[in-house]
Amino acid sequence: MDRAAIASSERSLQVLTIEASKRKGPMRRMQQQQQMQQRSLPKVPAAEDDNPRFVIFIRSKNVPLWYPLNIVSGGNAAKFMVGVTKNEWGKKIYGNSLTNNIGAAVYKDEEKIIASVVKTYPTLKTAKEFQFGYKLVDEEKANEALRPVDVTLIPPKEELKPITEKVTDFVGKGMDNLKSSLGL
């Protein structure tokens, strides 16, 4: 290549870079927020015992950007479930139990959590619906746990009901429908 061609290609690259950096819109803002959030993540404190720890996350249902809320320590049941789900057999049997148990704890204090979140993360003040997630803290890479990557989504609280409660709701609704159709 001659010098003119090289200089021309360098100018093209510069133009492309300038155009890309001037791009605006919701995706660009979301990327900037994520970068700021990752730069300002605190250090994860050392574990006090050998029980598993989880980082709880929250996000607006409309914007897929996770914000770390808190680090919680699981007890013996969580330790058992984490250990068992390391193999395929355990995943099939206990796969959703850990998520359901963490979800139940989160939804128990949902109103307090959301009130606190909108103070901590002003960008979430306008959100109408929230989603929660969690991530297991790998003690060898504890500070990586706060990064909003590979977060397990916690299903909505309606989906976390125990099977007995779901059956009761189903039968109750069926009976109500039957009564209304018979005019009772």
pLDDT tens column, 98-115: 899 899 999 999 999 999
CA torsion angle 167 169 174 177 (round to 10): 180
In this structure, is residue 135 part of a structural domain? yes
Give CA–CA dist 47/13, Å, rounded. 48
Task: Give per-residue pLDDT as tens, 27-55.
Answer: 666 666 665 555 555 566 666 778 889 99
> 55 pairs with which residues across the strands?
71, 135
Q: Is residue 11 part of a domain?
A: no
Domain with 72 in it: 49-159
In a domain, 89, yes or no: yes
- Is 168 domain-assigned? no
123 found inside a domain: yes
Residue type, 43: K
**Residues 40, 49, 92: CA angle, nearest 5 degrees:** 85
Beta bridge partners of 70: 56
Q: Domain tally for the chain?
A: 1
Tell me whether residue 74 is in a domain. yes
**Predicted confidence (pLDDT) at residue 174 exceeds the cutoff of 60:** no
**109 in a domain, yes or no?**
yes
Number of CB atoms found within 10 A of residue 117's CB = 18
Backbone angles phi, psi at 53, to 5 degrees: -120, 150
Please check whether residue 130 lies inside any domain of the structure.
yes
